[in-house]
Amino acid sequence: MNYYNGIGSFEATVDGASAPAQFTIIQSLWTKPITSSNRLRQTLFIAALSLAYAHRSGYKVHMHTDSFGAKLMKKFGYDKLCTTLDAIPPSVPTELFAAGKFYAMRAEGAIGKVHIDIDVFLKKPGILDCFYKNHSVDLICQQEEDIAIANHADKIKHMLVMGHPAATRPDWKGSINTGIVGFWHPALAARYMNNYFEALKIYTAEKFQAYKQQNPDACLLFDFILEQVNLSYMSVGYDVRTLVPTDNPTWVADKIGYQHLQGSDKWTTKTQHTIRLLLAQLNNKLYHAVPPLIPNPD
C-alpha cells in the first residue's frame, strides 16, 4: 500500500545495491525550536529514514546539530556529527527554524556540497550527481515554484526594513524550494548567505516577538521569504538546475527517486507509522538507534 504525503509516495523500494559513497551531503537539526519530546522523537525517526536513504544512495552525510541533538543521534552512524548549532545565539528567534540550515552551510562551506532537509529522502543511487559532477551548475534546488506571496504586501512589509528589492516587485511570484540546495557559484552563495545572516541581526528575538503581535503568521513567512523567495530573486540570470520537473505535479518526484515530506501531514499517525516501518526495513540497526525515551527539551 502506498501512502501519499507532500510529494511522492512511501513505497518500500529497497531493491538494488548501494553505490559507493563518494560525495558529501549536509544535513541539520536545530532542536531548540522543538519543544515537545514526542515531536522530537517523531523528528528523529524522519531524520533516521533520510539518513538511511542517503547512505543507500551512495552519499556521505554530515549532520550539524546542537549538543542535545548530538546526544540523541550519537548512534545513528553519520559520517560526521557536529555540534555546530550550539553557536546559534539566543538572539535568533526559534521560529526562524531555517537558521540551522544556514549555520550548517556556513560551517561546511556552501560551495560544492548540497544541503538536504531531514525530511528529504534520496531513493535513487547517484541522484545528486548531476550537480556534483557538473561544476558549471550555479545552483541546484528541488524546484522552482509559482507562489503569489508577494501579492500580500501586509505579510511581507518587514522585508522593506531590509531594503529587499523582492518586496517592491508587485508581480513577483517566484519561490525556490530548498528541500535540497547547493552552490557552485561563490558570488551567488555569498550573497544568499550574507542576506540571511544580516536579517538575523535585524530581527532579534525581542523584535520578532513584537512583530508577531501584529503579524501572527510572521513565523513561517519570514523564514520562507528569506530562504526561498530571496533565493529565487537572486538566482535570476544564473544556471539553476532543478531536481524535480517544474512542469509536472510535484507527486511525480517519487518516480525520479526523490521525496520531500511537506506540510503538517507528515505528523499524522499513518505517516509516522509508515516512516517507522520503512526505517526498520531499510536499516533495522538505525531504527533501534532512535532513543526510546527522550527527555523534555530545555
Q: Which amino acid is it at 109?
A: G
pLDDT of res. 7? 35
pLDDT of res. 224? 79
Which phi and psi (to 5°) does residue 291 adopt?
-55, 135
Strands 23-29 and 114-116: parallel
pLDDT of res. 215? 65
Name the CATH topology of 23-289.
Spore Coat Polysaccharide Biosynthesis Protein SpsA; Chain A (3.90.550)
Closest by CA position to 257, among listed 126, 153, 162, 152: 126
pLDDT of res. 56? 92
How far is the C-alpha of 291 from the C-alpha of 267, rounded, in Å? Answer: 18
- Walking along the chain (298 residues) 10 residues at a time, the average pLDDT comes out as 39 47 91 92 97 94 97 97 96 87 94 95 90 94 74 51 47 78 95 86 73 64 79 87 78 80 85 93 96 78
How far is the C-alpha of 101 from the C-alpha of 119, rounded, in Å? Answer: 13
Domains of the chain, by residue range, sit at: 23-289
Q: What is the pTM of this model?
A: 0.87
Closest by CA position to 180, among listed 71, 280, 59: 59
| CA 196 to each of CA 26, 92, 103: distance values in angstroms, whole numbers, following the listed order | 18, 11, 10
